[in-house]
Structure 1
């Protein structure tokens, strides 16, 4: 019995069960009649899909958020986004520190598993940083947005503040919910709206361990950790590279950014590049994009944001590490190195495992959705990668996928938020230690 309890209480299982509990609680609240504008209870599938999308900070929706959900429902969504962005274990750890000033070993281990911190001793520093960074980023974003809504659009102060807070939470947590049916398309010409939203998404997508390093050594890049250097470098490369590729592809497309002035086309390209990192909002009509732009977006969404961040995807460090492995193999080097540091073999195996399991998840999800929906490969693949990468962008077919399609996307969002490795570790019944090694022999490769 004790061994069974120990297995259930392993950090990976606790994280998975905590997220599942949050999803089910959120679905229960959204299924209440008070949660909808019309006062009619939402269907269980709709409530479950929306709650999962909020807790897993994805942003895919089967209903127009503002038109379907009441203020109560929208507040529930905002709370679920904040919980999902913080992380269940991180949030509970913050509350424990506030209430008692202490954090037990089990809580440290659970939070370590969720936040990807290096060890139990790093957890307190990370969770305090989470609270500070989140508070500052969301307050600044909400303030700028609220002022703009009042000054530029004549909104009443109360409504402007509500809009500002909702979208500050939505962007910093990389959730991607919006209170307008066209997301942010009506603001495509307004840099005072688009730029703060982009900055909030990037800030949330860097990962809290990066902020811990920058706080101590922001003037001395030479002392930055390898993780920080890779995260910042890859983020910059993907943001600018993605913006260049999207802008070039959509430059003359009159259905997206072709009718915008040149400067605003560039801003729209950056906005889309940023949002594919897991932000999920759109300032141009994603459904009218060129198929090449969808493929570029698929790649960016699959890679995602930084580790231990509010963003999704396989993470930029995983992608970079695979690149270092390939480079070392091509050069015939015995060790995989980056920044004059040797990468442990265990991390190489983890990166390969995450990448292959993620490819498998996307492939299976795409095949299943193509079997149960009438849509073609390009659109289905985009929806699947968006759900698995917890991005929330859509080609416009999410609402038309039916119950089976929505359940498949729900599973993909959940798996994508927790990660295939975390979920696999939680489901494993035993962790065995082998006391012997087999003789070495390798098959031909390539």
Structure 2
């Protein structure tokens, strides 16, 4: 007799997929309401669904300008979706359980473990408490800094609202901004502050902290007491630093004389913008330079950074820095003729190598497939489409200006890509596959010539 379909019978990946889908649908219905738009009219369902998906998946791709189209109510809905999507809906549900005094069950601990990409259930509730504490603390400090800086440019009440909105948006690597109403031009982002040290430094700090992952932040905070870091934290910190520094140098070289981006900026503005444009592809989505004006070499390099993305257990997407590190380590070991793959004097389990390879191949297949489909349905240059698809998969939010001009079909495809990128290809695969059965036999070993 088949089992009755209930929420309890669903696996953690399936619950995560359904949970995120439910939040996106609820957000879309709220954004469709006339009260959510500045002109008091209903927003088309496709536009509302796209915006809700982008906010919940902390991406930042938008079909309408956030400040010019959405009312205060609509903006509050968007920033709420960003906070829920960044921390994970299970984190928000667990917070409610804590506030109401309800005990966290084993099933809910398994869900938290899956949502936070934590290695085991041990300490997962304790980690959740730190997630909430660190998030609110970091966002609060950044909001104060933003408010003080913007109070010189606008009324204090507006500066306070801008500070709170952008602190949440940047820390959760969402990339939504409200500067369209300041410049009068839609999709302005932070281009008005390309030379501003305070804005650049604060925004970059938020993006980096949000992309490191809460487990790593916890280890760094407690380092003075423990005097040691896990292998995971070492890999995340070192690879993050390498990608940021290498990215800044490459962007600086490629764009230094470009009259459409860095060319008109003073030297300190060039350095700040190069650093910012190296940090933001780590799934942030904000920009201080005109993305559409960049040279093709810079755009392709940005695509690579977006594909790699942030780190596990963070608010960012992509294949993750740890996956990229494992692949590089495997390549080096193979070239050197080593049997074991070693990182920081630790041998990696073969299962980790297989998982990293599977994750990367699934991501490549997804980006390639969606790019091929959109290159057929959308009349735009392939690099533009590839940039948009990779940005959606990595939940980055950077765009060459293609998003508002997409067809309804194109918007649906990009929305699905954002959804898959936020949850991760493996989580989606686990959610969609039937319950695995243990095989009672093994096939004989075969040999294939490689290379």
- Bin the TM-score by the shorter chain: over 0.9
State the Cα distance separating 1:433 from its structure 2 match.
1.2
In structure 2, C-alpha distance between the alignment counterparts of 1:344 and 1:318, rounded to whole Å: 13
Change (3 A) 1:84 1:418: same
Which runs of structure 2 are paired with 1:268-417 in the superposition (5 Å)?
268-417=273-422
TM-score scaled by structure 2? 0.96
State the Cα distance separating 1:437 from its structure 2 match.
1.4
Change (3 A) 1:6 1:96: closer
After superposition, the CA RMSD in angstroms is 1.3
Partner of 1:437: 442
Q: Which runs of 5+ in 2 are unaligned?
A: 180-185
State the Cα distance separating 1:95 from its structure 2 match.
2.3
State the Cα distance separating 1:240 from its structure 2 match.
0.7
In structure 1, C-alpha distance between the alignment counterparts of 2:121 and 2:433, rounded to whole Å: 23
In structure 2, C-alpha distance between the alignment counterparts of 1:3 and 1:426, rounded to whole Å: 18
Pairing 1:88–2:94 present: no
Change (3 A) 1:73 1:366: same
State the Cα distance separating 1:164 from its structure 2 match.
0.3
Pairing 1:133–2:134 present: yes
In structure 1, C-alpha distance between the alignment counterparts of 2:256 and 2:297, rounded to whole Å: 13
TM-score scaled by structure 1? 0.97
Aligned residues: 443
User: Is the 8 Å Cα contact of residues 387 and 416 (structure 1) preserved in structure 2?
Assistant: yes
State the Cα distance separating 1:199 from its structure 2 match.
0.6
User: Is the 8 Å Cα contact of residues 309 and 320 (structure 2) preserved in structure 1?
Assistant: yes
In structure 1, C-alpha distance between the alignment counterparts of 2:224 and 2:236, rounded to whole Å: 14
Report the secondary structure of 1:60's partner residue: coil
User: Is the 8 Å Cα contact of residues 188 and 283 (structure 1) preserved in structure 2?
Assistant: yes
Pairing 1:247–2:241 present: no
State the Cα distance separating 1:94 from its structure 2 match.
2.5
User: Is the 8 Å Cα contact of residues 239 and 321 (structure 2) preserved in structure 1?
Assistant: yes
Residue by residue over 1:74-100, the C-alpha shift from the partner in whole angstroms, topping out at 9 and shown as x without a partner, is: 000000000000101122122223322
Residue by residue over 1:110-154, the C-alpha shift from the partner in whole angstroms, topping out at 9 and shown as x without a partner, is: 11111111111221122111101101110011100001111x31x
User: Is the 8 Å Cα contact of residues 116 and 308 (structure 1) preserved in structure 2?
Assistant: yes
Residue by residue over 1:238-271, the C-alpha shift from the partner in whole angstroms, topping out at 9 and shown as x without a partner, is: 0111111111100001111110001110100111
In structure 2, C-alpha distance between the alignment counterparts of 1:366 and 1:198, rounded to whole Å: 29
Pairing 1:146–2:147 present: yes
Residue by residue over 1:207-226, the C-alpha shift from the partner in whole angstroms, topping out at 9 and shown as x without a partner, is: 011122223324766x2111
Partner of 2:428: 423
User: Is the 8 Å Cα contact of residues 27 and 47 (structure 1) preserved in structure 2?
Assistant: yes
Pairing 1:212–2:218 present: yes
Q: Which runs of 5+ in 1 are unaligned?
A: none
Pairing 1:260–2:265 present: yes
User: Is the 8 Å Cα contact of residues 214 and 314 (structure 2) preserved in structure 1?
Assistant: yes
Partner of 2:182: none
User: Is the 8 Å Cα contact of residues 59 and 283 (structure 2) preserved in structure 1?
Assistant: yes
In structure 1, C-alpha distance between the alignment counterparts of 2:307 and 2:172, rounded to whole Å: 18
Pairing 1:163–2:168 present: no
In structure 1, C-alpha distance between the alignment counterparts of 2:279 and 2:9, rounded to whole Å: 38
Pairing 1:175–2:168 present: no
Pairing 1:67–2:68 present: yes
In structure 1, C-alpha distance between the alignment counterparts of 2:347 and 2:101, rounded to whole Å: 40
User: Is the 8 Å Cα contact of residues 13 and 426 (structure 1) preserved in structure 2?
Assistant: yes
In structure 2, C-alpha distance between the alignment counterparts of 1:126 and 1:178, rounded to whole Å: 30
In structure 2, C-alpha distance between the alignment counterparts of 1:312 and 1:105, rounded to whole Å: 27
